[in-house]
């Protein structure tokens, strides 16, 4: 079994194929603190890609409320329970994963630990919406951070992993990872509908089409990405929670690249369930209102530091971070570089051209109450 | 002719007819088998390609081939689905038909829901000389694979098993570019723009074609992971499930002219079975080893008569020779008797003497 | 301030007790009176209004009572099993003040979306629902995902009884809806979002006669997101308790002038959002075809039904920490 290096685990691990990183790896950062679960991203993707017959249940982008929501039903509980709690060694910096990944824990006869959902598991995609982890307890004070009773929204697309379970699981190599940008695709000519990928993907982003009888998945809107434009789910985000760009390995991180800056330089954006071992490329800024233990289960040992840093930013102590977050969905172009130019955040495209400029502080003008010229008082009601 | 001669001649004649008849009826093997061998009996006329229950299959000698679980490439199944597969074969001038039968308690014929997997059986054909590796061949040494699929057959026999056949109460307000009313028959109701959403269908993936022309996929492979549907589908097939058993016939041309097919001549065959209820698909299957294929040349009435005549000819030749020898012996005895009489009555023991030449020799 | 939805102001000289701790959660006690603060109280008799407790009159009659007397009153429907204050606000899945029921939207609107409609009872690919506190629901024998009846004041909900109404009208308009366990609902309140298309005679006919059970009118194609009735079966426009206060000093609806007399936003009826006092009773099991639990609850992924794995997940036990 080949050994590959997984920087999120700070160690090498088993994988089906030898290490072969793409020339560039596209990825994104989602700031959970800003997501309002408006589902605009979900509907943008749905209307673009999965509105055909056989695709009705598919939502390549989905947003679920944590902790009670899940699409498909219990996708994370099921795989976490199969993998079991796995240990991290926090004595190293970065922490080292000492447990078994899904590849290392593959049962006999299988390439990866996994499970195949029933058809019914894909129903009720927004089950759990807005539900809190527990009933409201009036004896608790609810205006502290973190919240005494909490929930948050987890927006998900395909992770376009560096070590995809779907790629490893397909016995006929009908799934591949693009050399030029690391986007993972199912070859629609080559797939024979075995559904090994549906079983293997722990994030459950590979989906079987009932009519064409082969499987499909998020394509990261690669036709747009090839032209330097962000995917539909990203550029339609109302809350501007998403940053899209190209992520590098830690040793090659460029602090002027917004992705590298958030993930490597500041470590404020963390992978989802890194313990699975797939090196996923969608990163999350953890919600500051949720309990640390639940978040560590989801994002690994870097949660406390990420939350601390986010709170520093809210206090005005991290201008560069603030600049990057303000650049999120400020343009539909993929940003390759950012800069803090005085009191403005600037974004540059792949050709080094400035494509957007955002003030760190939104200009505000306060008019005097009395308008002497007309002898009236200015009110903001009629 | 002497009575004994007649008896001998009759015995030979009857024996010859009996033997020929038994061989023709297939009650005797044409040749002695070495290792598993599938004898494909020759027939004249059409093969029972669509009828696994045809009486004609009684003419084909059955071969029980043991099944084992595919364990070479992950994912695997732990044990074979069933112990063995029964194989028979018939052939005519142009085509060969193979009938496969195995125990399967549950009939699985749809792949519409994501939890549905279908029953299937495949024949892997390779040349006997330079046989490629058993597991679907290898690079440079390909195999010809014919896989019958229960869901392809269901699409043909019942019409395309569509979304609404599994989810009769489904509803959508609108599919882009689609006109008409639910449930929208795939793909007839689908305009070119609407088909953009049926990606597998639009790019020509054979698994995504609602209209199936055959239940058998004609494919090639050069090792694991490489099976690819051929451009030209030459095989047909039909399976019948009854009383916990599948019986499937797959028929294809001996020499299709398709460069991706392996011509039938000196071949080995291997088989694989998939049980949908177990979740079998792809490498999760039960397989056999190679089996020698012995194709009997077809035998018509002309051949039979010629064969019988040949036997008769040999019989007659044998009898004639024997008769000739007898006659000579009698002549010699008579000559000796004459000698005794001529020499004054004392009978001397008759001894075999070397033959006298006409030119030499002397009287005792 | 108390966490009830009613603001109670009393005549000076009488003060309500400060509500301590969580005593107010034991029972939300809707009182029987609406009172206003004033130091020049007039009585009903001064206006010629009878001492009636019917729904119409109670909206506008203003009485003068000490707090101790108010505390002893009870909503006239409480004795008939009416317990819940229900409100019908607006939500993120549809436009601010518009009704809307389309397929991709309804699949994501709440927990009951299913394009394949495996439970044929569902009126559409999603449906309206009532958010209930789990303890409230359990006390009434209602499981997560069950269908329930929700009834408003029978005097005029679901409609005022006219001479030409029929039993069929009542059947179409009585609200049958899914119950959903919502942990954060305060006790004895419940909520139903107001955007879903309501049932009509045509949609009910479709629901009951179509092979697939869609609540779609056979003649017009109108698609309801409820099987029977709607959130409007229990709401109505309300008259304001300020109705009788022509001499009340108030700001104009628009502009800054201060005056007296009728002003629309001070004296006019309140249309939306609406709330109401309702009774809830169990109607059908939530499982497919009306058999036991709906699947996510049966599988242990719903609040109060959590499996061991779900419990460990909630506690973060899989994190290896």
String of DSSP letters for C7-20? -----TT--PPPPP
Longest dimension (CA), chain B: 129
Q: Which residue of C has its CA nearest to B181?
A: C221
Q: Report CA-CA distances (Å) from C282 to A119, A249, C182, C285, C286.
A: 29, 57, 17, 8, 10
- For residue B48, how many C-alpha atoms fall within 13 Å in the half-sphere facing its CB? 19
pLDDT of A141 over the 80 cut: no
| pLDDT for residue B340 | 59
CB contact (8 A) between residue A212 and residue B198: yes
| pLDDT for residue C5 | 33
Residue B333 has which token pair?
Answer: 């005895």
∠ CA B293-B294-B300 to the nearest 5 degrees? 140
Q: CA-CA distance, C19 to C71, in Å (whole number)?
A: 13
CA-based nearest distance C124→chain B, Å: 8
Q: What is the mean pLDDT of chain A?
A: 96
Residue B290 has which token pair?
Answer: 């190679």
Decide if A124 touches C, using CB distance below 8 A. yes
What does B238-260 look like in DSSP terms, one character per residue?
A: EEEEETTEEEEEEEEESS-S-TT
Q: What is the mean pLDDT of residues A166-186?
A: 97
Q: Which helix (H) or strand (E) holds C134?
A: helix C134-139
CA-based nearest distance C220→chain B, Å: 14
CB contact (8 A) between residue A211 and residue B198: yes
CB contact (8 A) between residue B171 and residue C103: yes
**Strand locations in A57-174 (E):** 62-66, 88-89, 96-97, 152-156
Q: Which of C301, C311, C315 to probe the A interface (max A CBs under 10 A)?
A: C301
**CA-based end-to-end distance of chain C:** 41
> Residues B145, B220: contact at Cβ < 8 Å?
yes
How many Cβ atoms from other residues are within 10 Å of residue B300's Cβ? Answer: 10
Q: Which residues of C touch B172 (CB under 8 A)?
A: 103, 115, 125
Decide if C162 touches A, using CB distance below 8 A. no
| pLDDT for residue B140 | 78
Whether the CA torsion B348, B354, B355, B357 is positive or negative: it is negative
> Residues C163, C60: contact at Cβ < 8 Å?
no
| pLDDT for residue A190 | 96
What does C271-307 look like in DSSP terms, one character per residue?
A: -SSEEEEEEEEEEE-SSGGG-SS-HHHHTT-STTS--
> Residues C108, A42: contact at Cβ < 8 Å?
yes
Q: Which residue has the tokens 């690994």?
A: A300
pLDDT of B264 over the 90 cut: yes
| pLDDT for residue B30 | 46
Decide if C123 touches A, using CB distance below 8 A. no
The partner residue sitting opposite B186, judged by closest CB among A53, A55, A116, is A53
The partner residue sitting opposite C115, judged by closest CB among A56, A88, A126, is A56
| pLDDT for residue C98 | 85
Q: What is the mean pLDDT of chain B?
A: 85
Task: Give me the count of residues in chain C.
Answer: 321
Q: Report CA-CA distances (Å) from B78 to A110, B119, B283, B312, C17.
A: 10, 18, 12, 58, 74
Q: CA-CA distance, B136 to B252, in Å (whole number)?
A: 19
| pLDDT for residue B350 | 44
Closest CA to B147 of B239, B43, B10: B239
**Strand locations in chain B (E):** 37-42, 63-66, 68-69, 84-91, 95-103, 120-127, 143-149, 216-221, 228-229, 236-242, 245-253, 267-274, 286-287, 291-295
Q: Which residues of A touch C251 (CB under 8 A)?
A: none
The partner residue sitting opposite A77, judged by closest CB among C118, C310, C316, is C310
pLDDT digits (tens, 9 = 90+) for B311-331: 778 778 777 888 878 888 888
pLDDT digits (tens, 9 = 90+) for C276-315: 999 999 999 999 999 999 999 999 999 999 999 999 999 9
CB contact (8 A) between residue C296 and residue A127: yes
Q: Which of A54, A57, A173, A218 to probe the B interface (max B CBs under 10 A)?
A: A54
CATH 3.30.420.40 fits C78-237+273-314, yes or no: no
Q: CA-CA distance, B278 to B105, in Å (whole number)?
A: 11
Closest CA to B289 of B96, B36, B105: B36
CB contact (8 A) between residue A88 and residue C111: no
> Residues A169, A111: contact at Cβ < 8 Å?
yes
CA-based nearest distance C107→chain B, Å: 10
If interface means Cβ-Cβ distance under 8 Å, which residues of chain C face chain B? 102-103, 115-118, 120, 124-125, 211-214, 223
Residue A169 has which token pair?
Answer: 């699981």
| pLDDT for residue B297 | 80
Ranges A220-234, B32-46, C200-214, C298-312: which has the least confidence: B32-46
| pLDDT for residue B303 | 61
CB contact (8 A) between residue A109 and residue B77: yes
Ranges A159-168, B33-42, C39-48: which has the least confidence: C39-48
Decide if C1 touches A, using CB distance below 8 A. no
Chains B and C form CB pairs within 8 A to the count of: 29
Which chains are adjacent to chain A, needing at least 3 Cβ pairs under 8 Å?
Answer: B, C
Q: Report CA-CA distances (Å) from B4 to A25, B277, C95.
A: 98, 70, 113
CB contact (8 A) between residue C103 and residue B169: no
CATH number for the domain whose boundaries are A3-228:
3.30.70.20
Please give the model's pTM, rounded to 2 decimal places: 0.87
| pLDDT for residue B193 | 87
CB contact (8 A) between residue C320 and residue A377: no
pLDDT tens-place values along chain C, 321 residues long: 233 333 344 443 444 444 433 344 445 566 666 555 556 667 777 777 777 777 788 777 777 777 888 888 888 899 999 999 999 999 999 888 888 889 999 999 999 999 999 999 999 999 999 999 999 999 999 999 999 999 999 988 999 887 778 899 999 999 999 999 999 999 999 999 999 999 999 999 999 999 999 999 999 999 999 999 999 999 988 887 766 677 888 888 887 788 998 888 888 888 765 889 999 999 999 999 999 999 999 999 999 999 999 999 999 999 976
Q: CA-CA distance, B163 to A119, in Å (whole number)?
A: 13
CB contact (8 A) between residue C212 and residue B171: yes
| pLDDT for residue B324 | 77
What angle do the packed helices A303-314 and A292-299 form, to 10 degrees?
110
| pLDDT for residue C226 | 98
Residue B303 has which token pair?
Answer: 């051949």
> Residues C4, C186: contact at Cβ < 8 Å?
no
Which chains are adjacent to chain B, needing at least 3 Cβ pairs under 8 Å?
Answer: A, C
Closest CA to B167 of C107, C117, C103: C117
| pLDDT for residue B358 | 45
> Residues B260, B231: contact at Cβ < 8 Å?
yes
Decide if C20 touches A, using CB distance below 8 A. no
Q: What is the mean pLDDT of residues B57-79?
A: 96
Contacts 24+ apart (CB under 8 A), A133-142: A133/A67, A133/A68, A133/A294, A133/C183, A133/C314, A134/C183, A135/C133, A135/C134, A135/C135, A135/C183, A135/C184, A136/C183, A136/C184, A136/C186, A138/C3, A138/C22, A138/C25, A139/C21, A139/C22
Q: Which residue has the tokens 């008569």?
A: B305
CB contact (8 A) between residue C184 and residue A70: no
CA-based nearest distance C40→chain A, Å: 31
pLDDT of B273 over the 90 cut: yes
Ranges A76-80, B30-34, B68-72: which has the least confidence: B30-34
Q: CA-CA distance, A270 to B43, in Å (whole number)?
A: 71
Q: Which residues of A touch B174 (CB under 8 A)?
A: 51
- In the three-class reduction of DSSP (H, G, I as helix; E, B as strand; rest coil), residue B219 is classed as strand
Sort residue B136 into left (φ over 0), alpha (ψ -120 to 50) or beta.
Answer: left
∠ CA A333-A160-A91 to the nearest 5 degrees? 105
> Residues A172, A136: contact at Cβ < 8 Å?
no
Residue A7 has which token pair?
Answer: 């920087």
Query: What residues does B41 pair with on adjacent strands?
Result: B90
Closest CA to A10 of A120, A73, A96, A112: A96
CA-based nearest distance B119→chain A, Å: 13
pLDDT digits (tens, 9 = 90+) for B137-189: 887 778 999 999 999 999 999 999 999 999 999 999 989 988 777 788 777 77
Higher pLDDT, C113 or B352: C113
Which chains are adjacent to chain C, needing at least 3 Cβ pairs under 8 Å?
Answer: A, B
CA-based nearest distance A80→chain C, Å: 6
Ranges A29-33, A201-205, B54-58, C239-243: which has the least confidence: C239-243
Residue C171 has which token pair?
Answer: 């059947």
The partner residue sitting opposite B163, judged by closest CB among A116, A195, A211, is A211
- Domain edges within chain A: 3-228
Q: CA-CA distance, C58 to C52, in Å (whole number)?
A: 7
- State CA A99 to chain mean position distance: 23
> Residues A161, A184: contact at Cβ < 8 Å?
yes
């Amino acid at each position: 079994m080949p050994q590959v290096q997984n920087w999120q685990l700070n160690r090498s691990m088993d994988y089906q194929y030898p290490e072969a990183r793409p020339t560039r790896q596209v990825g994104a950062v989602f700031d959970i603190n800003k997501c309002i679960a408006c589902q605009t991203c979900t509907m943008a993707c749905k209307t673009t890609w999965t509105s055909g017959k056989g695709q009705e249940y598919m939502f390549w982008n989905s947003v679920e409320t944590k902790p009670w929501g899940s699409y498909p039903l219990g996708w994370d509980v099921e795989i976490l329970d199969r993998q079991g709690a796995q240990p991290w060694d926090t004595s190293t910096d970065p922490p080292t994963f000492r447990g078994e990944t899904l590849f290392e824990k593959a049962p006999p006869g299988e390439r990866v630990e996994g499970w195949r959902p029933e058809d019914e598991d894909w129903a009720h995609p927004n089950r759990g919406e807005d539900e809190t982890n527990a009933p409201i307890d009036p004896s608790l004070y609810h205006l502290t951070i973190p919240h005494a009773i909490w929930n948050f929204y987890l927006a998900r697309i395909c992770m376009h992993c560096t070590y995809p379970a779907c790629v490893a699981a397909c016995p006929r190599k009908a799934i591949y990872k693009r050399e030029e940008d690391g986007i993972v695709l199912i070859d629609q000519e080559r797939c024979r509908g075995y559904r090994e990928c549906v079983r293997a993907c722990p994030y459950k982003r590979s989906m079987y089409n009932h009519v064409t009888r082969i499987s499909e998945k998020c394509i990261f809107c690669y036709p747009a990405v090839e032209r330097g434009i962000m995917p539909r789910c990203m550029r339609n985000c109302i809350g501007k929670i998403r940053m899209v760009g190209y992520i590098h390995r830690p040793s090659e991180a460029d602090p002027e690249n917004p992705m590298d800056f958030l993930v490597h330089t500041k470590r404020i954006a963390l992978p989802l369930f890194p313990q699975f071992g797939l090196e996923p490329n969608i990163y999350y800024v953890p919600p500051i209102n949720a309990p640390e233990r639940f978040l560590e289960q989801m994002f690994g040992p870097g949660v406390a530091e990420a939350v601390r840093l986010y709170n520093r930013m809210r206090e005005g102590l991290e201008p560069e971070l603030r600049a990057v977050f303000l650049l999120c969905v400020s343009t539909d172009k993929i940003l390759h570089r950012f800069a803090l130019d005085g009191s403005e955040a600037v974004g540059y495209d792949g050709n080094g051209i400035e494509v957007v400029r955002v003030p760190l502080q939104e200009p505000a003008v306060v008019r005097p109450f009395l308008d002497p010229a007309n002898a009236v008082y200015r009110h903001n009601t009629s | 002719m002497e009575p004994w001669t007649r008896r001998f001649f009759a015995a030979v004649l009857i024996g010859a007819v009996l033997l020929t008849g038994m061989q023709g009826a297939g009650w005797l093997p044409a040749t002695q088998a070495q290792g598993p061998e599938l004898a494909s009996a020759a027939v004249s006329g059409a093969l029972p390609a669509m009828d696994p229950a045809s009486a004609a299959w009684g003419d084909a000698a059955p071969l029980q081939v043991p099944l084992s679980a595919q364990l070479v490439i992950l994912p695997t199944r732990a044990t074979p689905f069933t112990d063995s597969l029964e194989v028979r074969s018939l052939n005519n001038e142009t085509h060969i038909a193979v009938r496969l039968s195995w125990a399967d308690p549950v009939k699985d014929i749809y792949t519409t829901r994501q939890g549905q997997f279908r029953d299937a059986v495949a024949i892997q054909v390779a040349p006997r000389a330079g046989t490629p590796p058993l597991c679907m061949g290898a690079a440079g040494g390909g195999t010809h694979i014919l896989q019958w699929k229960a869901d392809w057959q269901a699409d043909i026999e019942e019409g395309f098993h569509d979304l609404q056949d599994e989810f009769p109460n489904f509803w959508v307000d609108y599919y882009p570019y689609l006109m008409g009313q639910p449930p929208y028959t795939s793909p007839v109701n689908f305009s070119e723009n609407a088909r953009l959403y049926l990606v597998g269908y639009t790019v020509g993936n054979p698994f995504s074609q609602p209209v199936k022309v055959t239940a058998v996929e004609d494919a090639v492979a050069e090792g694991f992971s490489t099976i690819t549907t051929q451009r030209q589908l030459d095989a047909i097939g039909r399976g019948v499930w009854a009383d916990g058993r599948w019986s499937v016939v797959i028929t294809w041309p001996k020499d299709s002219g398709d460069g991706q097919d392996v011509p039938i001549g000196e071949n080995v065959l291997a088989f694989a079975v998939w049980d949908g209820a177990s979740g079998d698909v792809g490498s999760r299957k039960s397989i056999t080893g190679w089996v020698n294929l012995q194709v009997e040349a077809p035998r018509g009435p002309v051949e039979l008569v010629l064969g019988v005549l040949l036997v008769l000819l040999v019989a007659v030749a044998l009898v004639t020779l024997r008769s000739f020898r007898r006659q000579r012996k009698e002549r010699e005895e008579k000559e000796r008797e004459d000698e005794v009489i001529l020499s004054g009555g004392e009978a001397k023991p008759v001894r075999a003497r070397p033959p006298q030449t006409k030119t030499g020799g002397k009287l005792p | 301030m108390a966490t009830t939805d009613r603001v109670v102001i009393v005549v000076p000289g009488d003060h309500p007790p400060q509500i301590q701790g969580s005593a107010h959660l034991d029972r939300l006690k809707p009182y029987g009176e609406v009172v206003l603060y004033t130091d020049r109280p007039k009585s009903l008799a001064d206006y010629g209004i009878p001492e009636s407790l019917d729904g119409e009159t109670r909206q506008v009659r203003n009485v003068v009572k000490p707090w101790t007397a108010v505390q002893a009153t009870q909503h006239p429907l409480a004795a008939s099993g009416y317990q819940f204050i229900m409100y019908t606000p607006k939500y993120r899945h549809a436009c601010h003040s518009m009704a809307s029921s389309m397929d991709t939207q309804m699949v994501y609107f709440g927990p009951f979306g299913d394009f394949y409609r495996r439970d044929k009872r569902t009126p559409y690919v999603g449906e309206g629902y009532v958010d209930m506190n789990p303890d409230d629901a359990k006390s009434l024998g209602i499981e997560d995902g069950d269908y329930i009846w929700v009834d408003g004041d029978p005097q005029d909900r679901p409609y005022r009884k006219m001479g030409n109404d029929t039993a069929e009208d009542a059947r179409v308009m009585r609200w049958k809806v899914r119950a959903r366990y919502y942990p954060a609902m305060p006790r004895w309140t419940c909520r139903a979002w107001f955007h879903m298309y309501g049932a009509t005679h045509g949609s009910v006919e479709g629901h009951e006669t179509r092979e697939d059970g869609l609540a779609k009118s056979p003649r017009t194609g109108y698609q309801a997101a409820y099987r029977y009735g709607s959130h409007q079966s229990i709401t109505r426009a309300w008259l304001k308790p300020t109705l009788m206060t022509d001499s009340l000093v108030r700001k104009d609806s628009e502009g800054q002038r201060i005056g007296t007399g009728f002003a629309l936003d001070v004296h006019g009826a309140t249309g939306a959002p609406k709330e109401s006092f309702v009774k809830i009773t169990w109607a059908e099991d939530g499982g497919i075809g009306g058999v036991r639990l709906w699947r996510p609850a049966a599988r242990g992924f719903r609040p109060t039904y959590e499996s061991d794995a779900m419990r460990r997940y909630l506690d973060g036990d899989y994190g290896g920490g």
